[in-house]
Amino acid sequence: LHFAKQAGLDGEKVIETISKGAAGSWQMENRYKTMWAGEYEFGFAVDWMRKDLGIALDEAKNNGATLPMTATVDQYYADVQALGGGRYDTSSLLARIEAMHKK
């Protein structure tokens, strides 16, 4: 969606096109309108997601697993929290991208 906005594309047409293939997802089909509008307070909160990711990362330390992508996603959600988005839902990674773009 960030790419589509930056390119001046029609969000509805982009979602219609990409949702037909492997890029389709429940989140995109059901939340793209609110994401496009910068509205993120609808679902599972970032604060809760980070709690769960923390549990997984702690257990990985205990059992010797490596979870680099999980650690990256956790950091991305920490960035959303730093933006004041602790109660935002998980689609708010778009807010992080857009905030970074403005810098």
Model pLDDT, residue 47: 97
User: Can you read off the two tokens belonging to residue 93?
Assistant: 């990674």
Domain ranges of the chain: 1-37, 40-103
Q: Identify any residues that bridge with 89 across adjacent strands, giving them in sequence order.
A: 45
Do 83 and 99 form a contact (C-beta atoms < 8 A)? yes
Tell me the pLDDT tens digit for each residue of 64-93.
999 999 999 999 999 999 999 999 998 999
Alpha helices in 1-103 (DSSP H): 2-6, 11-18, 26-36, 46-63, 68-82, 93-102
Q: Answer yes or no: pTM beyond 0.85.
A: no
Which numeric CATH code is attached to 40-103? 1.10.1040.10
Q: Is the pLDDT score of 58 beyond 80?
A: yes
pLDDT, tens digit, 9 for 90 and up, residues 6-44 = 899 998 898 888 887 777 788 888 888 899 899 999 889
